[in-house]
Structure 1
Amino acid sequence: MRNVDPVLSNKLNSQYQTKANNAQPKMSVAIARARNTVSDSSYWVVETIRQKTGLGDVSVAPRRQKVTGPPNRIYEIHVNDGVVGTSIREYPDKFKDGWVDQFDVGAGSSVAIAFDGEWERYRNLWRLVAHEKPWIFWVDNTGVLWAQLWDDTGTKQQLATGVVYCRAIRAWKNLNMADKDQGIVVGYIKSDGKVYYRNYCQLLDLSYTWEPERQVAEFTGTALSLNLFITNDYRMGFVVEDSFNDIYWYITDRNWAGMAIAAESVTVAPAELKVELIPIDYIGAYTQETISAVPAELGVTLLYADTDNDFMALNAPKTMLDEFNEPYDDWGWFIDLTIDHPIPSLTLANVTVTNLDNSTVIQMTSIEKVDDLNYRLHVSDVVESGLNNVYGDIQVDITGAINPAGYTYINMTHTFTPINLIPTFIPLPEVEVIFNE
């Protein structure tokens, strides 16, 4: 505790505590809540993880597993004397164990870490409820970028080559539209100074996969460092420092549809039916009659009646057997449709699929309804390879579809680039005869 100032002490010891003798003491009291988060609204918590020579890149991620609670553990990945290692710290650190080393993954130069999880709304704000273990990323001494789910070596996979620097973040996921998931984004700089990224996100069939490598084409300089961020208005962004020490930042479109406003509900109170039977006096009647009334079941149905609608399309894998009877995924036989608003009866007569490369119609054999908003198109086997020999984009048109209220939707069109196709190998022609005239 602090000692009382001598001037204030004299005032407190005065016989009369009045303004007249300048002995009316005053004091201010500051009250702060107990620290239960990594950073408070009034101060930052600064903590030394380790201190020695030979330290390199480092990345830290907190784990929160309850939407109403603080983080319960902090995970970390670092470079120490050219070796990539990991450690954890309990939060709060009740037993004062500090940072506890976990495992090494090998030689490396740049590291990153990010938790996957589920976005949940709490007090009108979205919070990420993390999964049990984070994803870690590192660049080895040959420039290969690796990804692994913490200590599960069975998930280790190569993401890119020629990499010199990496960073990662869990970006926004739209809970109302399955295909609008930015996923875990891994941004990295290659030896050519260009910026690239890959996403681990949800597909239309609700499965998760690492999407192909993409370049941040808007950045045209030579990158030296990189960081990632998310904004409160549902965007994700890149911050890039170039060789002239200029800082550039690039942000995505808002991934907010249906997220910014809490979900609404419509409640219909049960209707009341009252039947009153009034006695009737009959003169000369042989018997007294009785009237019974059974109230009919009442209900209210709210039907979507707008004619505006839209949809997304993407090819999906089909499990096949190879010549050795081993299963594999063939992406040339299914096209999945995810529609914004229900179409009670969608048939092949409403759907046209076109190969934009040669303007030919791709034949479908059937359409399968998965649920009210999801359909699967089955590609005809008239062409043995299905979609595998398609070059360029595919266009899907939906026309004449009827909404739940019986009105016709405005015609819809979506164009997509099919992924994971394997073109059929066509052998070169063999020479049958050579002659000279």
Structure 2
Amino acid sequence: MVDPLSSSASQQPSLGSLFFSFFRLGLTAFGGPAMVTYIRKMAVNEKGWLDGAVFDEGIALCQAIPGATAMQVTAYTGLRIRGITGALAAFVGFSLPAFILMMVLSALYVSTSDLPPVKALFLALQAIVVALVAYATVSFGKTSLTRWFSLVIAGIAAVLFIAGVNPIIVILLAALLGIALLPAPDKKQELPVTAFPRPETSFLILLAVACTFFVLLNFLNTDLFTLATTMARVDLFAFGGGFASLPLMFQEVVVVHSWLSSTTFINGLALGQVTPGPIVITATFVGFLTYGFWGGIVATIGIFTPSFLVVVGTVPYYDWLRSSQLYQKMFQGILFSFVGLLLSVTIKLALAVPWSWFPGLLAAGAFISLLLGAEILWVVIAGVGIAAGMFVLVH
């Protein structure tokens, strides 16, 4: 699809080597956006597959389009190294460990969630998840809401989300408000308008394959089709990285479709935090608990397909896209709406937790630790350890 931009062909790995390199990385990839750093270290510093400047261009692109950022950086890296087959190898290799582990954990959850030690563990994880979402709301809001129009868009979005309005409608409204309220970008910083490129044949073939999958699924099982398209919508409208998809997923899964209760969804988020790989792997948990084994597979395909297609389809259009004032204003409006979305989900998740002094202290400690710069993985591990120790002392 796109010619590799690394140096010589001798530096290009085989598809098998590319797959297993990203598979090994996916086994230990914790930390949300920090995963991008690990990908850069492997592909640029250790392997020498890509030039650092080329990799950094990919980061900028993946931050400007919807989808799970770390997964899209993976696809971008594979695309630049070995074209579209390389993108597939890297993307599947990186996500496979998290998928397998989440399928196993989902099955265990179904059979053990009523056991007292498991209940105590998930109560602790629920409190920590509330702290994580609250911290994301604060940190995201501090960097995003700097002007009056950003506060207006975020406030309107929060009210609409709390009122139960469909998240897709709210996001589209935020995009329109961005066009209406945001000033035009500084002309000194504007990029030259580039010609609209022609679509790549290989991308069109891949898009046709994806569409065929969804059409066939609709004929074979309408419930699974609804699950897959719901997850695809969540990913397609998730501006701001993989974490931004979780509030949308909550709205669709808990509020719109009532597939899971708030408490069960929080437990799925907790499992998504303690597994390696992207946080959007929570979709696998949702699919498994809703429609079993095939539900887990279909939900995973649904949540990852748009991220992959958007990044490999956008690479040739990147210069044209970022030169569009209309896109820049729409993107900013959508970004502001996610602060409102995060706030509304923080409130809803907090209301779903059976609070007492212990989960309250655990949530407060986790929130303060995150504010002080602690890594998410260590906060989760510490919380689980404290909860386990408390259960042993009490029982």
TM-score class, shorter? under 0.3
More strand as a share of residues: 1
More helix as a share of residues: 2
- Whichever of the two has the greater Rg, that structure is 1
Where relative contact order (Cα < 8 A, 6+ residues apart) is larger, the structure is: 2
Q: Tell me the TM-score normalized by structure 1.
A: 0.20
Q: Tell me the TM-score normalized by structure 2.
A: 0.21
